[in-house]
Chains A and B, each alone.
Chain A
Amino acid sequence: MFTSVLVANRGEIARRVIRTARRMGLRTVAVYSSADAELPYVREADEAVPIGPAAPAASYLDMDAVLAAARRTGAQAVHPGYGFLAESATFARRVLGAGLTWVGPPPAAIESMGEKVNARNLMAEAGVPVAGGTRQPVTEVAAALDAARALGYPLMVKAVAGGGGIGMSVVHDEGGMRSAFGTARTRAERFFGNPGILLERYLEHARHVEVQIVGLPDGRVLALGERDCSVQRRHQKVAEETPSTGVKPELRQRMVAAAVRAGQAVGYRNLGTVECLVDPVAQDFVFLEMNTRLQVEHPITELVTGIDLVEQQLLLAGGQPVTIEAAAGASGVPAGGHALELRVYAEDPRRFLPSPGTIRAWEEPRGEGVRVDAGYEAGSVVTQYYDPLLAKLCTWGADRSEALARARHAVAAFVIEGPRTNLPFHAELLAHPDFVSGTYDTGLVARMRATP
């Protein structure tokens, strides 16, 4: 097993990985851009290396700079967190090529899942249900219109190499396709360096539910239950919970089985997540995509299983026996109360527009069943260069109503002054009848904002 690990990330996830790695006795190395020198994760690592200016392309996405930092500090392993280089097969190969341990799945698995059209085709071959969609990437509007005629509207337009909701939109007719396609292609090229577009049948009133999987060294794939991520704005997740209130046991079993098949089909190792769209009325689902890394919302799975997923990632990468098997249980569905994650973003709570700034006051809520994974503290500067995630406020309860009650108290007790935050939105969400009853779908936030 390696004895040191470099965390190629920033903010809350760098801090969270460093915490577990240090607990395991590993020497930790942080990397940081000039904008992040004062953040807690830089201080909490055993060593910290500056890797460039604020712009991500010149620091956190600069593979040479990250690898040079690993060399300089003698780090033996690289944990990529999520985002940045986490789903770059090229980076994973370069880490391995430098003789270091990559804390993640094999590069080939990252590659086969990284392109959405290819991933869907692979999944369909493996017997995992997929929604109707294009079997080739589309790059011209004429081809998009033809494909749309055959598939039928509404359709989701997505960058094949995309992520984070960027460049995604729903189109309902030919006019919508004409205007959305060009924008999607431009963004796909700009953000992901690949103009290819996937058109996929859009399921209205669906829920977004994902299954946590773990690929073991002997090729077996285990599942650790699901997370419901239907509370979204701009196709980005804002709140998650487990278990999902829209998935009945019979559907859960089918989804878990499909997620395991999906992992096996690509020779998956380490932690991954299979995202699905669920029709809660029909109790049916289709595969959306697979994320070949640690997920932002992994803490809620940790809260209901008692497993430290980052520890398991590090143990798996180091070739050590893992303790995950017993917890996964025979059915692949762990049971242990209910957990909720609220993403605290630096954004105004009505229009969800970014709000960078200096944090003047920061007081985290505490108490039984409350966990806060934060990237910032009082005095930190939240810059415009990175995503708006300030902290993940998670609560656990013996049942859903206890988790919700704890979340309401925790939201009220969380003090952040400086940047505007979406804490008032979370207070609203936790009081919304559809959320409270558990009968919501991915349209919930839009509906909350449509009725003033």
Chain B
Amino acid sequence: MFSFCADPKSLEGIAWFACYLTSGKHLYFYVSIGTVLLLLAITVPVALAFGFAGAMAARSHFAPLSILGRIYISAVRGVPDIIFFLFVPIALDQAFEWVRHKTKCPDWTEPIRRGADFVVCPQAKLPLSSSPQWVHETYGFFLAVLAFAIVFGAFSANVLYGAMQAIPKAQTETAEAYGMTRRQVFRRIVVPQMWVYALPGLSNLWMILVKATPLLFLLGIEDIVYWAKQLGGSKRSIESEYPHGDWRLAYFLVLLVFYLGMTKLSEGVFGRLYRRLSHGQATMAGEEQRRGRA
């Protein structure tokens, strides 16, 4: 990074740290913070969409759809995350490749499953083995988002389902008495008001999701915890120009600060959201707001 970093052995004190903390490996560490934030930013809306769809399905009066929604909610919530993350992305990946294999290489006669091996024709590989590394990484990232969205979608489906049921019955009945259809009641009365009931549950999920990102390494995505371990481990002169002892404690303290910072920030955001959503609601918080203003 800096010009004086050419010979780290001659450096001491601040200069040594300036070079050490800007080594290529550290830059990956800093970038991985962005990766984690990006993953969260993409996963949250997708997971909410899964959750909303799951909750709507579970509430449906059409029995097969309702059963499907309920199975999704209970089955996915019941599987330990680490098993889910080992199994689902590999299964998804193999499913995609199987479909591509069937369409792209119809004359391939050899079996796909050979003992422990899963072999598809080279054109069906996803991504192609010839693709540059960033394509592989993006694909892994996509699988991770999908896996996270499925898991957290199931949890949020349960939260949203509860929130939909929490809307006072009197309100929906009144709306129906005004001649609204079921669909209109859902859109005009239930959805706008349910968020205040869903918020505590959703904020819990958010906090768990933030902490779940180390599972990413199972999918080959290098997150902050992976890099902290890599950087903190003791380095000998054969491995690194900056040999040092076991510094994992220091790196994990940095992670601690990062995660506590995220928690504090989230609490602030959720607090504001809660106040805004409570406005005009028939809840204790809404009532207090009304009195405060009067």
Q: Do A and B come from one complex?
A: no
